[in-house]
């Protein structure tokens, strides 16, 4: 048994947790868009304008704040004009990055922005730098956001949408150090500056421009990029970091793994903390006023694909191990909320560390989905100081900190509500944690407590969709301390009034 103390200081507010930290990513990859989100108007699967109602409902329930599209690597071979106008006239192409399948462009700009309106989230569009042109990017922005009588607003109207959309987040290229053009950082910085110059604000739409940042621990990319690109050019740079248990050749199975693999995966996911802090330290040097934010716009686990599935579709199951990964990452992002403006887990449906899996009309919410649900009260809340006296866990070979936590405060009806999320990575020991408030504060009433736990291999399948589900209870919390038990391989969220 782990016995410890977690101190929470509501007096020390650190910053606001941007709801966008709970963002998502959708790419034309495997069965993410087609089947997972878009089934077409004629489908028997209940849909609105071809978009699955069950998926939209599930994403609304976790208050999905922002959705990135159309890629990923796909973004740098996507030509937006192929995806507008009458369906039968849309150009077909080969999706060279992902499985070599034919992309019929039936899901394009109108369909994506309709999806965002149905979910109630901000769109985040990645424009094509790798194989596109500045003119193409500039015209896409005009098509989506320009009011009035411009050539592209008239074309938009002809295609069924008179009112311009509001599009805030624009990513200029994706992984331009790799699939987005194999560029050197100096070359990309010049390209970036040119593109951003022609991505204009129309009417009352204001773009938040995002430059392609580093891969994992490529600190040189960050340094070079920010030596050439400044706050006048960009609001943020993006970071991509995937949790791959060993290496690209030995990723391992999503479901068939041992205790060592489990701890190695969690150690790998915790490495993001060091990566983020080192990139932030470089940003501190080159952007002293902190006017450029960091966005982690691809993160999550990447395992071998499920046996028998297309290797280019990146379809993997999702277990309690992934739930722990999600919880640790979200706590890390929360704790750096003064610098991290957004994070997007990869990907939302049927790809990599998915929130949702689909098979025909069936849908499964993964353990990762449960974590996003348990953490949703942090969105828009103010992070407050918290500290835990941690202990180590793992095998003889692999040691990691057992616990991870974050705490935030929100005003509700004039009262302060504290939300606490704690995960326990130990496979053997439950954690008995005394939560302690400082002098002058007490817990005040009913706490809503949710617990997610199970064997590390537990997952939700189409045969057994509810195997891993949070259990909810309410408890009476009073006084300055309360003891919370977090099961082994478990995550707890608790919200309670404090005064």
Q: Which residues are catalytic?
A: 175, 298
Least distance between ligand AHR and beta carbon 314 (Å): 6
Between 27 and 287, whose beta carbon lies closer to ligand AHR?
27
Between 72 and 123, whose beta carbon lies closer to ligand AHR?
72
174 scored as a contact of ligand AHR (CB under 6 A) = yes
Residues 314-353 as x/- pattern, contact with ligand AHR by CB under 6 A: --------------------------------xx----x-
Question: Long-range contacts of range 230-235, CB-CB < 8 Å, 24 or more positions apart?
Answer: 230/287, 230/292, 231/287, 231/289, 231/291, 231/292, 233/192, 233/193, 233/196, 233/209, 234/192, 234/196, 234/209, 234/210, 234/292, 235/208, 235/209, 235/210, 235/292, 235/293, 235/341
| Binds ligand AHR (CB under 6 A): choice among 20, 298, 370, 373 | 298
77 scored as a contact of ligand AHR (CB under 6 A) = no
Least distance between ligand AHR and beta carbon 174 (Å): 5
Helix residue spans in 365-496 (DSSP H): 367-374
Size of the site for ligand AHR (CB under 6 A): 10
130 scored as a contact of ligand AHR (CB under 6 A) = no
Within residues 347-386, the interface with ligand AHR by CB under 6 A covers 347, 352
Q: How large is the C-alpha radius of gyration of the chain?
A: 22
37 scored as a contact of ligand AHR (CB under 6 A) = no
Residue of this chain nearest to ligand AHR (CB atom): 72
Between 351 and 494, whose beta carbon lies closer to ligand AHR?
351
Backbone phi, then psi, for 262, in 5-degree steps? -60, -50
| Binds ligand AHR (CB under 6 A): choice among 111, 122, 142, 175 | 175
Question: Long-range contacts of range 140-148, CB-CB < 8 Å, 24 or more positions apart?
Answer: 140/80, 140/109, 141/167, 141/170, 141/199, 141/200, 141/202, 141/207, 142/200, 142/202, 143/80, 143/84, 143/109, 144/109, 144/113, 145/201, 145/202, 145/203, 145/205, 146/202, 146/203, 147/202, 147/203, 148/203
Residues 6+ apart with CB under 8 A from 109: 80, 83, 84, 140, 143, 144
Least distance between ligand AHR and beta carbon 389 (Å): 37
76 scored as a contact of ligand AHR (CB under 6 A) = no
Between 347 and 453, whose beta carbon lies closer to ligand AHR?
347
95 scored as a contact of ligand AHR (CB under 6 A) = no
72 scored as a contact of ligand AHR (CB under 6 A) = yes
Tell me which DSSP letter residue 495 carries: E
| Binds ligand AHR (CB under 6 A): choice among 10, 19, 23, 27 | 27
Residues 471-490 as x/- pattern, contact with ligand AHR by CB under 6 A: --------------------
CB 370 within 8 A of CB 354: no
Between 264 and 314, whose beta carbon lies closer to ligand AHR?
314
Within residues 438-477, the interface with ligand AHR by CB under 6 A covers none
Least distance between ligand AHR and beta carbon 494 (Å): 33
The neighbour count for residue 211, using CB atoms within 10 Å, is 27
Burial class (CB in 10 A: 0-12, 13-18, 19+), 137: buried
Residues that bind ligand AHR (CB under 6 A): 27, 71-73, 174-175, 298, 346-347, 352
């Amino acid at each position: 048994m782990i016995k410890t103390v977690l101190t929470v200081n509501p007096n020390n507010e650190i910053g606001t947790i941007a709801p966008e930290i709970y963002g998502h990513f959708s790419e034309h990859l495997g069965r993410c868009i087609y089947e997972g989100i878009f089934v077409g108007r004629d489908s028997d699967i209940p849909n609105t304008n071809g978009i699955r109602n069950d998926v939209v409902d599930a994403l609304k329930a976790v208050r999905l704040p922002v959705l990135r599209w159309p890629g990923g690597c796909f973004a740098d071979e996507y030509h937006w004009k192929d995806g507008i106008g009458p369906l039968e006239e849309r150009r077909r192409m080969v999706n060279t990055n992902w499985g070599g399948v034919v992309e019929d462009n039936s899901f394009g700009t109108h369909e994506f922005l309709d999806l965002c309106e149905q979910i109630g989230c901000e769109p985040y569009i990645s424009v094509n730098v790798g194989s596109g042109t500045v003119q193409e990017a500039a015209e896409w922005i005009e098509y989506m956001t320009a009011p009035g009588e411009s050539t592209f607003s008239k074309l938009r109207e002809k295609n069924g949408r008179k009112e311009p959309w509001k599009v805030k987040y624009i990513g200029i290229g994706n992984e331009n150090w790799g699939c987005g053009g194999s560029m050197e950082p100096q070359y990309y910085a010049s390209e970036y500056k040119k593109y951003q110059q022609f991505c204009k604000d129309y009417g009352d739409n204001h773009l938040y421009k995002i430059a392609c940042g580093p891969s994992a621990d490529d600190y040189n990319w960050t340094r070079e990029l920010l030596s050439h690109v400044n706050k006048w050019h960009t609001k943020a740079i993006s970071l991509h970091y995937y949790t791959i248990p060993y290496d690209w050749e030995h990723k391992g199975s999503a479901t068939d793994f041992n205790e060592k693999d489990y701890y190695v995966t969690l150690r790998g996911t915790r490495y993001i903390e060091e990566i983020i802090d080192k990139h932030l330290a470089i940003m501190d040097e080159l952007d002293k006023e902190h006017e450029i934010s960091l966005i982690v716009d691809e993160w999550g686990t990447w395992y071998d694909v499920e046996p028998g599935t297309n290797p280019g579709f990146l379809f993997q199951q999702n277990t309690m191990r992934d739930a722990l990964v999600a919880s640790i990452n979200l706590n890390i992002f929360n704790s750096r909320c003064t610098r991290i403006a957004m994070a997007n887990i990869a990907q939302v449906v049927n790809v990599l560390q998915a929130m949702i899996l689909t098979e025909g009309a069936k849908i499964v919410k993964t353990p990762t989905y449960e974590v996003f649900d348990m953490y949703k009260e942090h969105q828009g809340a103010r992070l407050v100081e918290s500290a835990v006296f941690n202990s180590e866990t793992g095998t003889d070979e692999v040691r990691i900190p057992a616990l991870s936590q974050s705490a935030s405060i929100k005003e509700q009806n004039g009262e302060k509500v504290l939300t606490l999320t704690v995960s326990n990575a130990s496979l053997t020991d439950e954690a008995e944690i005394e939560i302690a408030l400082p002098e002058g504060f007490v817990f005040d009433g009913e706490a809503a407590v949710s617990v997610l736990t199970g064997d590390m291999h537990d997952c939700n399948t189409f045969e057994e969709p509810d195997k891993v589900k949070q259990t909810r209870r309410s408890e009476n919390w009073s006084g300055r301390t309360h003891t919370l038990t977090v099961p082994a391989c478990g995550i707890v969220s608790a919200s309670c009034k404090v005064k």
